[in-house]
Amino acid sequence: MLKLDAAALHDPGKQRAIDEDRSWWQIFMASEGEPVGLFVVCDGIGGQLGGDCASMWALETVKRELRGIFSPFDPRGTRELSRAELDAALRGRSSKNASRARKLEREVRRAVESANFVVYEYAQQRPEKAGDAGTTMTLALVSGERAVIANVGDSRTYLLRDRQLRQITQDHSLVANLVTSGQIKPEEVFTHPQRNLIYRSLGFKTELHVDTFMQSLQSGDYLLLCSDGLWEMVQDELKIAQIILESASTEQACRSLVDAANDAGGEDNIGVVVVKIT
């Protein structure tokens, strides 16, 4: 039986007065003794408290929408998944269980879509924020040997396995598309004049496409969720992996990652969640 340990930290960085990032986690012990974890990083967009409020509302909405997974029953009465169903869905060991996994994947996608609508409505009801309040989000829902991962924007979820860091999510950014199409090299992402342009985020349209991924897990793995304030500042993935592996705890790993981003300039807010699987 796999176990989960996690920590989260967000920091304004060295050049921003307002911290618009949010990072959060919760681990719930199922009745069978197996942990279920939800991990989220949001990076607010807009400034002047627009991004700060957007990331806060997005996080709170996702927590509310997925509450049934972490409580004995869902007060809405229609979204609750039993512990056995959740376990079976995430393990996906048969065609029936695979279908349940897709059902859970849809629940995660629906939660992020709800967060998008809440942020959009928040901005529309405040004319001074309209068009200037949004957020990215990356989310991982983990149970047993399987994770459902969702992503909107350029915040990322990585898998660290066998000392190798691999990006699971795909950035919704102009430069990521340019790399995919072969128009620029991966290392040019960090210096491209339009590197900060993203084409998908929560809060700017009523409808939103949410990318989701299924990831198998094993003992010794780590998940890293982070905003661009980390990966743009600490560009060497080997260094990120080394920091995590050499840290005595997930708390220390988060602190050391934030420190590394600040030591590299701290040009943006920094949000991180580190999850250790044993």
Kindly report, residue by residue over 165-204, the tens digit of the pLDDT.
999 999 999 999 999 899 999 989 898 988 889 999 999 9
Structure tokens at 175: 């430069």
pTM score, whole prediction: 0.89
Q: Among 176, 169, 205, which Cα is nearest to 192's?
A: 176
Task: For residue 180, give the CATH number of its domain.
Answer: 3.60.40.10
Under the banding of pLDDT at 50, 70 and 90, the label for residue 1 is confident
Q: Among 142, 173, 168, which Cα is nearest to 156's?
A: 168
What element of type H or E holds 255? helix 250-263
Q: Among 28, 119, 101, which Cα is nearest to 68's?
A: 28
Listing DSSP states for 108-133 in one string gives: HHHHHHHHHHHHHHHHHTSTTTTTS-
Q: Rounded to 5 degrees, what are φ and ψ at 146?
A: -140, 145
Kindly report, residue by residue over 243-269, the tens digit of the pLDDT.
999 999 999 999 999 999 999 999 999
Structure tokens at 262: 């600040």
CB atoms within 10 A of CB 224: 29
pLDDT of amino acid 85: 65
Say how many domains are in the chain.
Answer: 1
Under the banding of pLDDT at 50, 70 and 90, the label for residue 72 is very low
**Around 266, how many Cα atoms within 13 Å sit in the side-chain half-sphere?**
16
Q: Where are the beta strands (DSSP E) in the chain?
A: 4-11, 21-29, 35-45, 134-143, 146-152, 156-161, 164-167, 211-216, 222-226, 270-277
Q: What domain range is 237 assigned to?
A: 4-277
